[in-house]
Chain A
């Protein structure tokens, strides 16, 4: 080899530098610059697009790559990563080729993340070795694709294809960690799809089961607490200066929203008003008695009236009392094609409420096309399950067969969204934008929730052990968010002054 020719073998180059010789280091002499340009020409001649001035850097990186390969091999990563999934765009561009290798080499301490697609959350235990984790992520992404394809085939009524996809997905499940993340949610959606094409009847629900699941969901994550506290703050502010107040709760359940309001009214400057509570819908036995006992002990005059589900028309409003109507995750149940949403909203308006508090999921699960609905639901519930897992209410890593009750509560919603149609599909979540239009059409105008509600909600969320929760304010409504994704929105409304409404009569029965 001639004296000033370059041996372009990278290892030889490295050795040259290692020996302390820097024949290609740019020096500001005529001779050197001419030899450098000559070197460049020679390098280009053999196919490398690298300048001689860059070679020092290249050698450094090569050394780093070398030591990383050795370390990775010691950690058990198979060296064939260099020729299997690493993507090389232009090996002749030496510098960037080595860079791309270096960025693809897994760092010694943690497993690799080679996918530039959906990034799955890492498992809590790092004992899985990197190669298997790559497989797991592959399987996770594949599962999501299969779920979408299956939903698409169902939309096109191709049940044969859907069945084969479901079987394929079940084979894929053991490869994924099903205790967390996308794996866990996928199982629920997979089961729901299976139910749908098997035309299985919906499982019978018992009221007791509903109540138990609801209370577990209440404890497991802040969503419902956020709803209650925000609505209560709005109602409290609306009741300022009123002596007789009447709260109508469209879904009483355990009545957990009301102790806080009773206590706040008791401590109101100027003394508590007389409070009437009408609870509609399923409720635990003796709710009224317990709330009455609580109210009596703190000195709030209280009376309770229970109304069967769906009988809003039998609610009586007395003249001179301020009315608040509270709906937490209820109005969306009325949105089916033949649903009574418009007549219910008219009824509500005729009660002339001082405030109507509406809390709804911030998701669009009422789209007519099945695939759209399915996709939306998949991503919404993934976020929700993530938040549940982080709050410690998800039960952590569990076997497939055993889900925390809070998750079962959500699973029922998923099943309803995916499996049911027509009047059976009741979980018709709609985003606040649509509610705004609908409530505006029904004669309501929005009331801004104010900074007290915001401060209270932020403080409440800080008390939860996980860091991802946040409160967002959008056009006067407050939303609970998990890492920026809105989950649930609380808003307040009042009847527009110009909307034509008959004045309330004493003991009036509204027949519908």
Chain B
């Protein structure tokens, strides 16, 4: 009985707080999502889409893959380099996401188990990303760069 009344009262009270009023807080929250959820969040509304496209959000996601601790153990210059090569969002979409998925699926322990393996996977991601960036420079946007096709599902590269 008491609960029903409480519920009625809550429904009648106007909502005083909306997450959409505070984009920074929204960014902080979205930065804790995994890749797929982040993409889904980007489809919610224009504001969420804009916040999800911020590179800082994807940077947090990428760094989480590299080290589980909150303190960032990557080199200070990484952000500049990644930004120059195309940004964290692209890095995640083209390299980090598929690589970590594929490594986890291939069994053994995968990069989740050890910091050394995670760091190695991150370095590999950056290397492949740089090749992708270089190819985009070469083809000038006319055709899709193909060096990372092998990371997708089995494709016929004829």
Contacts and interface: CB of A to CB of B under 8 A. Distances in A.
Contacts of B151: 463
A260 B127 contact: yes
Contact of B147 (A219, A293, A393, A405): A219
Given A216-B157, A456-B120, A460-B124, A256 B75 contact: no
Contact of B150 (A263, A291, A405, A464): A464
Contacts of A219: 146-147, 149-150, 157
Given A294-B134, A406-B157, A263 B126 contact: yes
Interface string A210-250: 00000010111010000001001000000000000000000
Interface in A261-319: 262-264, 266-267, 269, 271, 284, 286, 290-291, 293-294, 297-299
B61 to A, nearest CB: 19
Interface string B106-132: 100000000001001101101111110
B158 A463 contact: no
Nearest to B124: A459
A396 interface: yes
Nearest to B110: A462
Given A219-B147, A256-B134, A259-B134, A465 B154 contact: yes
Contact of A259 (B120, B124, B130, B146): B130
A262 to B, nearest CB: 7
Contacts of B137: 290, 293-294
Contacts of A463: 99, 102-103, 150-151
B47 interface: no
Interface size class of B (residues with CB under 8 A): 35 or more
A455 interface: yes
B84 interface: yes
Contacts of A222: 150
A373 interface: no
A462 B151 CA distance: 10
Contacts of A431: none
Interface in B6-54: none
A484 interface: no
A404 interface: yes
A286 B129 CA distance: 21
B77 A294 contact: no
A459 B121 contact: yes
A294 B133 contact: yes
A299 B84 CA distance: 9
Contacts of B103: 459, 462-463
A260 B130 contact: yes
A259 B85 CA distance: 10
A298 B102 contact: no
B141 to A, nearest CB: 13
B4 interface: no
Interface of B: 75, 77-78, 80-81, 84-85, 99, 102-103, 106, 117, 120-121, 123-124, 126-131, 133-135, 137-138, 146-147, 149-151, 153-158
* In the A-B complex, the 3 residue pairs with the closest CB atoms: A263-B130, A260-B127, A259-B134
